[in-house]
A and B are shown apart, each in its own frame.
Chain A
Amino acid sequence: MQYMFLIYGNEKAEATTTPEEGQAEMQAYFGLNAEARAKNVYVVAEALHPTSSATSVRSRDGKLMTTDGPFAETREQLGGFYILNCKDLDEAIEWAGKIPGVKHGTVEIRPIVDFSAPQN
């Protein structure tokens, strides 16, 4: 089944990393991508611009309202994601442990709904 891995981290703290540290982290992500592809679990992965670039949109009574900023102000912000194809949650937890951001932030695992599977 497919799982989405939402990578949360503290943007403020991440902004203070040195170029060397940033490079090392990028290399770690490239390594993870290669491993996930080689093991045939990779579906997609992307990094996101900081929440300062976020725009939130809602429609009420047919009127579109657009505001600056993320959906919610939180201590850690969504910075990127993976979608991987895993056998079960245990395998997904193992992959989550390999995502470089797990060392300073939090990785949230969300199973993706399979519309061909039985629903309630």
Chain B
Amino acid sequence: MRSTYDIIEQTFQQERGRVLATLLSLLRDIELAEDALQDALVTALERWSTTGVPHNPGAWLTTAARNKAIDRLRRSQTFQRNQALLLAQLEATAESEDEEMLQPDDIPDERLKLIFTCCHPALAKEAQVALTLQTLGGLTTPEIARAFLIPLPTMAQRLVRAKRKIRDAGIPYQVPPAHTIEERLDAVLAVLYLIFSAGYSAASGDDLVRHDLCEEAIRLTRVLVLLLTQERGAGAATEANGLLALMLLHHARRYARQTSVGDIVLLEDQDRTLWDKDNITEGTAILQATLWLRQPGAYQIQAAIAALHAQATHADATDWQQIAALYGALYRDFAPTPVVALNRAVAVAMAEGYTAGLKLIDQLEDTGELTDYYLFHAAKADLLRRTGWFDEAFSAYQRALSLCENSAEKAFLQRRLSEVEQQMQA
């Protein structure tokens, strides 16, 4: 049986982001809002342990936190004109509401504003990620520090600086106007994808905090999709939906990507019965509904590629022709990066033959852009190995190994290197 404490803890986790977003629209100061919410949580823990969780915990917490903010402002040593104004405003509305009477619909969901504030381009990317996880995800500073393998004081400092900059530089608390929303939404999606990727490429599956990052990224993307659709229509949420589908389709493979001892299992060798069918069904449905709107984008194309992999019942049934074409479109229309070109080269190799792929790899190598990218050398080594050119494959694996820093991936490359070495001797 779950203890009252567990239920309260879970309620806090669920409600925190939304309550904080509402508080921020009242208080316009993240630090004050967080402090007031913390005070309210302490009171809630005491009260709810005896009375049980109220019918509408979010509204209860919002009202309680607002009252705590009033207390804090009254006690404030450095009482300023702006704070006096804020206090007067809060007091004017404080008596009009009974905390138990509030219905969820009475309080508008302000989380979309909070997402755009946290992912404002005037903040450093790593600060955007940390802020989003803390304010909307409800992760603690130590959890975020552990997830990104950064010392706790560094992460704490980063969060404090970002919150001060929001206040001092006047970063607005709003959903950007129509003429800038597309560009600003790109930044939000990039942050959510970074959170997902940090969890997805975690060194080992037993590190729970990092594993949870994927789930958290998916949850936040769901919130973004829902609110964007409500406030700006389905047409504004196509790329957000594309990202959600992409995450779900990748997340579906989580149990098949590593062995029980943490060894990497490549896509073609994965036991596809371990793939999460619910994730695949949902991701594919979201993607199809989104493609129907005919506003293609980079995330939708990547999701379409992931969907093609998900549809193949075994590796040989993969539609590489289609995947190569999608990477071509991704490169041509949205993301002309060397990494996309590398992915396309691999898809071409699988669709048309290894020599065709290796030709593209050679062209990429001549540009020099991927010289220090271990996945380039790993992909090249793999194609050379498949072709039977073991000497060249051996040196490419060695190069990849010297550049790779992830222990699980290093172990995989080492295995391949030994296999190729045996072939060379045979």
Contact = CB atoms under 8 A, between A and B. Distances in A.
Contact of B82 (A87, A93, A116): A116
A90 B78 contact: no
B30 to A, nearest CB: 13
A62 B174 CA distance: 50
B81 interface: yes
A44 B254 CA distance: 58
Contact of B78 (A1, A87, A93, A119): A119
A92 interface: yes
B80 A89 contact: no
B388 interface: no
Interface stretch (B163-171, B239-247, B351-359): B163-171
Interface string B168-194: 111110101000100000000000000
Q: Is the interface of B mostly helix, strand, loop or mixed?
A: loop
A3 B176 CA distance: 20
B35 to A, nearest CB: 14
A116 B174 CA distance: 24
A19 interface: no
Given A1-B170, A111-B169, A90 B180 contact: yes
A111 B82 contact: no
A116 B170 contact: no
Contacts of A119: 78, 80
Interface string A1-37: 1010000000000000000000000000000000000
B408 to A, nearest CB: 42
A89 B122 contact: yes
Given A89-B122, A93-B122, A118 B80 contact: yes
Contacts of B281: none
Contacts of A1: 170
Contact of A88 (B80, B82, B170): B170
A117 interface: yes
B83 A89 contact: no
A17 B78 CA distance: 52
Interface in A74-109: 86-90, 92-93, 109
Given A116-B81, A116-B82, A119-B78, A111 B122 contact: no
A118 B180 contact: no
A87 to B, nearest CB: 8
B27 to A, nearest CB: 12
A105 B78 CA distance: 41
A118 B83 contact: yes
A96 to B, nearest CB: 11
A92 B170 contact: yes
Which of A87, A109, A111, A116 has the most B CB atoms < 10 Å from its CB?
A: A111
Nearest to A114: B82
Contacts of A118: 78, 80, 82-83
A90 B172 contact: yes
Interface in B32-84: 78, 80-83
B156 to A, nearest CB: 16
Nearest to A94: B180
24 contacts: A1-B170, A86-B170, A87-B170, A87-B172, A88-B170, A89-B120, A89-B122, A89-B171, A90-B180, A92-B170, A93-B122, A111-B168, A111-B169, A116-B80, A116-B81, A116-B82, A117-B81, A117-B82, A118-B80, A118-B82, A118-B83, A119-B78, A119-B80, A120-B164
Given A89-B122, A90-B171, A90-B172, 5 more contacts: A1-B170, A88-B171, A89-B169, A118-B80, A119-B80
Closest 9 CB pairs of A and B: A88-B172, A118-B80, A88-B170, A89-B170, A89-B171, A111-B169, A89-B169, A90-B172, A1-B170
